[in-house]
Chains A and B, each alone.
Chain A
Amino acid sequence: QVTLKESGPALVKPTQTLTLTCTFSGFSLTTSGVRVSWVRQPPGKALEWLARIDWDGDKFYSTSLKTRLTISKDTSKNQVVLTMTNMDPVDTATYYCARIWTTVAGMSFDIWGQGTMVTVSS
């Protein structure tokens, strides 16, 4: 069974750095074609793609947020970590991690975590 689960603080203060962890099971991030992405969704608003890390270590970021984002992986722990610096109240959102596996479902997010809500407030 393939699962992903996000974890991190529920509340961060403005200007702080957010660190989120995606812990997954049922697949390996060393398998060719496997990628993990982060997507967020502010309350009542649309989904927004943030970042992706590939099986071979390649990393890609949202153009508008790339200066604030860092994505990394620990394949031994089956984890992907996203850090976002200089948090602002507009960054309040549910943050999801999701799998992409081109062999299974092309360039789409076929399995999603349950999401973790992050509120930015002083």
Chain B
Amino acid sequence: QSALTQPASVSGSPGQSITISCTGTSSDVGAYNYVSWYQQYPGKAPKLMVYDVTKRPSGVSNRFSGSKSVNTASLTISGLQAEDEADYYCSSYTRSSTWVFGGGTKLTVL
């Protein structure tokens, strides 16, 4: 199972919006609406930010939103804040009943 493809880095200024893409195949991202996104600070465990493509867990800011088109999922962060600077990973459940992660995207808030 190959990793999902994410940009290595994205950046934006406070208040702006950014989008991180996550490209897979018809065997993972395109197979189900089971894409999730995780935020990870250095030395910390990942935190779930979006699940089932568009849903947010309780307590996660509505500045975080997800979408999907065919084999590509996206995470959009609006009203960028300094605290959003972190690594972001996408993940998808697959037709093989396994999971696959993306390579991760480092978000820099300028």
Interface residues in chain A, defined as those with a beta carbon under 8 Å from any beta carbon in chain B: 37, 39, 46-49, 52, 60-64, 96, 105-115
Known A47-B46, A107-B34, A110-B48; 11 more pairs at CB < 8 Å? A46-B89, A46-B102, A62-B1, A63-B98, A105-B57, A106-B36, A106-B51, A107-B32, A107-B93, A108-B34, A109-B38
Least CB distance, A12 to chain B, in whole angstroms: 22
- Give Cα A109 to B98, complex, Å: 12
Knowing A46-B102, A47-B91 touch, does A108 contact B36 (C-beta < 8 A)? Answer: yes
Q: How far is the CA of A54 from the CA of B52 in the complex (A)?
A: 19
Within 8 A of A (CB), among B13-35: 32, 34
B100 interfacial contact with A, CB 8 Å: yes
Q: Nearest 3 A-B pairs (CB), nearest first?
A: A108-B36, A108-B51, A106-B52
On whether the beta carbons of B97 and A60 are closer than 8 Å, the reply is: yes
- Asked if B97 and A109 sit within 8 Å, CB to CB, the answer is no
- Contact status B91-A108, CB under 8 Å: yes
CA distance A113 to B46 in the complex (A): 9
> Which residue of A52, A60, A106 is within 8 Å of B55 (Cβ)?
A106
Whether A64 contacts B55 in the complex (CB less than 8 A), given A47-B89, A47-B91, A109-B91, comes out as no
Interface of B with A (CB < 8 Å)? Answer: 1, 3, 32, 34, 36, 38, 45-48, 51-52, 55, 57, 89, 91, 93, 96-104
Contact across chains for B98 and A49 when beta carbons are under 8 A apart = yes
B51: which A residues are within 8 A, CB to CB?
Answer: 105-108, 110
CA distance A110 to B46 in the complex (A): 9
Instruction: Provide the bound-state CA to CA distance between A111 and B48, in Å.
Output: 8
Q: Is the CB of B36 within 8 A of A63?
A: no
Question: B46, A112: Cβ atoms under 8 Å?
Answer: yes
Q: Complex Cα distance A50/B92, Å?
A: 14
CA distance A70 to B91 in the complex (A): 22
Give the docked Cα–Cα distance between A114 and B67 (Å).
Answer: 29
Q: Across the interface, which residues of B come within 8 angstroms of A110, CB to CB?
A: 48, 51, 57
B45 touches A64 (CB 8 A): no
A64 to B46, CA, bound (A): 23
- Complex Cα distance A101/B102, Å? 21
A37: which B residues are within 8 A, CB to CB? 99
